[in-house]
Homo-oligomer: A and B are copies of this chain.
């Protein structure tokens, strides 16, 4: 149960983009320098966020990335699932139906209790991440850290 490092990058970049004027794009180079990240690798994560519909990408001079929605409408969960891929966390292999004491399928109409517990936990995790939006994170920044993204 480990979270990819790119998640941190993605959320911070979303926070940075939320502090720009509407309609202004920020290049990945500026974002990378803002946090001293590898520009080439950051590109990978930004692309994932574009594919997920969180960012809009524009090429050419004065191009770059900008949010597709107001930061109040983007949750941390959105970013995490965009970067991580959002696939299922736990894949139940139904091992209860295998082996010497395998259960017959009619006994398995209900889902495996293990899978239920795992899914409930993941749902609690997702729910917690949904409770925080990018706008919330901006509001929690120290005053000295707001609006510091160089033009």
A residues neighboring B (CB under 8 Å): 1-5, 7-9, 11-12, 15, 33-37, 76, 80, 84, 87, 89-93, 95-96, 98-103, 107, 110, 113-114, 117-118, 120-129, 132, 136-137, 140-142, 144-145, 148-150
CA distance A95 to B15 in the complex (A): 12
CB-defined contacts of A35 to chain B, threshold 8 Å: 95-96, 98-99
B1 touches A100 (CB 8 A): no
Query: Least Cβ distance of A71 to chain B in Å?
Result: 13
Give min CB distance, A141 to chain B, whole Å: 7
When chains A and B are docked, how far (Å) is the Cα of A129 from the Cα of B117? 7
- Choose among A7, A124, A149 the residue with the greatest number of B CB atoms under 10 Å from its CB: A124
